[in-house]
Amino acid sequence: MAKAKLAGVRILVVEDEPLLRKRYTAFLDGLGAEVTAVTCRKEAENALKELDFDVALLDVNLPDGRGTDLLREGKITAGIVPLVMTAEGGVSGAVEAIQLGAADYLVKPFDLEELPLRIMRARRAQQGKRAAEFGRSENAVSGTETELYFGPSLCTVEQQLRKIIAADARRAGHLAPVLIEGETGTGKTTFARWLHRKGPRADGPLIEVNCSALPEALAESELFGHERGAFTDAAATRIGLMEAAEGGTLFLDELPSLSSALQAKVLTAIEDRVIRRVGSNRTLSVDVRIIAATNADLRKLVEEGKFRADLLQRLDLFRVKIPPLRERGADLIELAGKLAARIGRQYGLKVDSIPQEGRRRLLAHRWPGNVRELAHEIERALVFDEGGEGLNFRGLAALTGADPSAPAWLNPDFALPEEGFSLDVAIDSLIARALQQANGNVSAAARLLGVSRDFLRYRLKDAPEAE
């Protein structure tokens, strides 16, 4: 495991003692690292000018000064993880090194087997800073934000996700990518967070990237990092988000927004588990679970030449399709209730159950914005209180341009057919649907329809044959 983690990592060893320098170099080289060993501060400064390093092991006492002076004078740039080594020991020396920016402090003599563990721990800390610099990571995601309501309409989706988690648990190494498809607002990000939190990499980072929001000129650098001098203003080496997600999950939302060249680099990261920073001629090993999401039909984009066929073939292994809200039927009401309770807590409001009129309006609306639109509509209703009438969602009628006086259950897009239709058959169809929703309970169905139980029994007894 240690060798895989240090493969391709460029390490500067600054040690004047020949035997120790030889031991450190041979040991790290055996773990796959690219090691440059120097004997003094001057040689270290020259090496830092010529090469970009990932890690620097600095001995404190050198023939021409102190190794910590390289930190004090800013010779060790932000892209390098510095570890200080000394035979002096003592709390004061460790405190000084940490204050100067050292990621760790090793007291000689130390066990060589401890060295890769210290290096990997320090690099993880650097990766965490990079993730925080970019924005949201899993550590900032609260449990409530990853709660999911799996009603009957999402039974298949839940089964797929749980099977993926079970497969992940059986797989010791690299995890296969996951492709989440669904319209805008269906909650693809929430499903990705849920999959990460429930999986074997829950303790690792989750970095979320909206690919459509990345400027084209900076997208490659953001995702894969860059070396010092790779382009104008690249004053120091910078790790990319792919490296920052090491040991965890990288969620790429709206993946088709990336250029074909970047799609190819994502494919390489998935297949070969290596990346190459901008301006570098070396590859770095990465162990990252990729979850990609899109609201587009990737197969159609491939036909149009807008998405790489090889990347689709690699992603199209664990595919999960989230149905739009309008296809979730009665689940919508249960979901709305849970969202209302959660949003109500955020505003310090007590939320009663959604009244029948509000439920009818929810079911009649087409929800082009899906769950995101539903959450916004609920929040709007809670804040403005709709004249004290509760969650009746009267604003939905105005939103769709429907007649405010029209019944809440009437689809605003409905038009009577030119050839006409049988009103008796329509009534009986409504009765049948009400009975189905009420699980055959006549009294409950009558309440849904706003009629008496006797009327319903009469209609059921004398219902005409459907034409």
| 197 and 291, same domain (yes or no) | yes
- Are 25 and 13 in contact by the 8 Å Cβ rule? The answer is yes
What digits encode the pLDDT tens for the residues 128-180?
A: 777 776 655 444 444 444 468 888 889 999 999 999 999 999 886 789 999 99
| 171 and 81, same domain (yes or no) | no
What digits encode the pLDDT tens for the residues 422-440?
A: 888 888 888 888 888 888 8
| 330 and 315, same domain (yes or no) | no
CA-closest candidate to residue 242, choices 199, 285, 279? 285
Stated as kind and residue range, the H or E segment containing 119 is helix 114-134
- Is 418 among the domain residues? no
Which CATH number characterizes residue 435's domain?
1.10.10
Stated as kind and residue range, the H or E segment containing 160 is helix 155-170
Which phi-psi region, left, alpha or beta, contains residue 205 (left: φ > 0; alpha: ψ -120 to 50)? beta
Which of 86, 113, 133 lies at the terminal end of a domain, its last residue?
133
Q: pLDDT at position 139, please?
A: 44
What digits encode the pLDDT tens for the residues 226-260?
A: 888 888 777 778 888 998 898 899 999 999 999 99
- Is 436 among the domain residues? yes
DSSP letter at 36 equals: E
**Burial of residue 95 (number of CB atoms within 10 Å: 0-12, 13-18, 19+):** exposed
Q: Is the pLDDT of residue 354 over 60?
A: yes
Which of 133, 148, 181 lies at the terminal end of a domain, its last residue?
133
Handedness of CA 243, 247, 253, 254 (dihedral sign): positive
| 185 and 83, same domain (yes or no) | no
Which of 105, 133, 161 lies at the terminal end of a domain, its last residue?
133
Handedness of CA 273, 276, 282, 284 (dihedral sign): negative
CA-closest candidate to residue 286, choices 298, 277, 297, 299? 277
Residues 6+ apart with CB under 8 A from 307: 256, 263, 298, 301
Give 348-394 as a DSSP string: T---PPPPHHHHHHHHHS--TTHHHHHHHHHHHHHHHGGGGT-S--T
Q: What is the pTM of this model?
A: 0.71
What digits encode the pLDDT tens for the residues 179-224?
A: 999 999 999 999 999 999 999 999 888 999 999 998 888 899 999 9
Q: How many domains, in total, are found in the chain?
A: 4
- Strands in 178-181's sheet, in edge-to-edge order, are 206-210, 249-253, 289-294, 178-181, 318-321
Q: Is the pLDDT of residue 76 over 60?
A: yes
Q: Distance between CA atoms of 23 and 131, rounded to whole angstroms?
A: 34
The boundaries of the domain holding residue 299 are 138-323
- Is 357 among the domain residues? yes
Which CATH number characterizes residue 104's domain?
3.40.50.2300
Q: Distance between CA atoms of 364 and 102, rounded to whole angstroms?
A: 61
| 31 and 100, same domain (yes or no) | yes
Kind of pairing, strands 206-210 and 249-253? parallel
| 223 and 368, same domain (yes or no) | no
- Is 6 among the domain residues? yes
Q: pLDDT at position 19, please?
A: 93
